[in-house]
Amino acid sequence: MQPGAFIKSCEIGMRIRNFRQRAGLSQEKLAELVGVTTQQIQKYEYAKTRLSTDRIQLIAQALQVHVAAFFHERSEGLALNEAEADVIQALRKIQDRQLHSSIKLILDRLAAD
């Protein structure tokens, strides 16, 4: 995707679906977290209904992703394998910032060897 390219509703919907599935959430659970019906989540995922910025922010929070993830592709072109995606999902579930720092320190030391 070119910088400044227009992101279509169908691409955002596809990303919502992918992030939801990676998070292990059903459409029902995401709907509950966002405060809409399951049918509304289906409409977002299949681009039948446009999303407001407020709703995109709520969905991003529920999925524990940065809102920009719906609009930007990774600039490095880096694709995660299944094991890497699992590690990232596990890290996102950890709320303790000190523990995150410790894990990062361990990973940095392992990568340096």
- Tens digits of residue pLDDT in 14-45: 999 999 998 899 999 999 999 999 999 999 99
d(CA 25, CA 72): 22
Q: For residue 73, what pLDDT band results from cuts at 50, 70 and 90? A: low
d(CA 30, CA 6): 26
Q: Is residue 38 domain-shared with residue 86, that is, in the same domain? A: no
- Average pLDDT on 82-98 reads 81
Tokens of 62: 């529920």
For residue 48, how many other CB atoms are within 10 A of its CB?
A: 13
Tokens of 5: 């390219």
Phi, psi of 25 (to 5 degrees): -100, 140
pLDDT at 6: 54
- How many folded domains does the chain comprise? 2
Please give the residue range of the domain that contains residue 113: 80-113
Q: What is the CATH number of the domain that holds 55?
A: 1.10.260.40
Q: Is residue 89 domain-shared with residue 56, that is, in the same domain? A: no
Q: Is residue 53 domain-shared with residue 100, that is, in the same domain? A: no
Q: Is residue 7 domain-shared with residue 50, that is, in the same domain? A: yes
Q: Is residue 92 domain-shared with residue 70, that is, in the same domain? A: no
Q: List the one residue out of 94, 99, 100, 90 whose CA is nearest residue 24.
A: 90
Amino acid, single-letter form, for residue 38: T
The CA-CA-CA angle for residues 67, 5, 61, to 5°, reads 5
- Tens digits of residue pLDDT in 93-104: 888 889 988 988
pLDDT at 3: 46
d(CA 30, CA 7): 22
Q: What is the CA radius of gyration of the chain?
A: 16
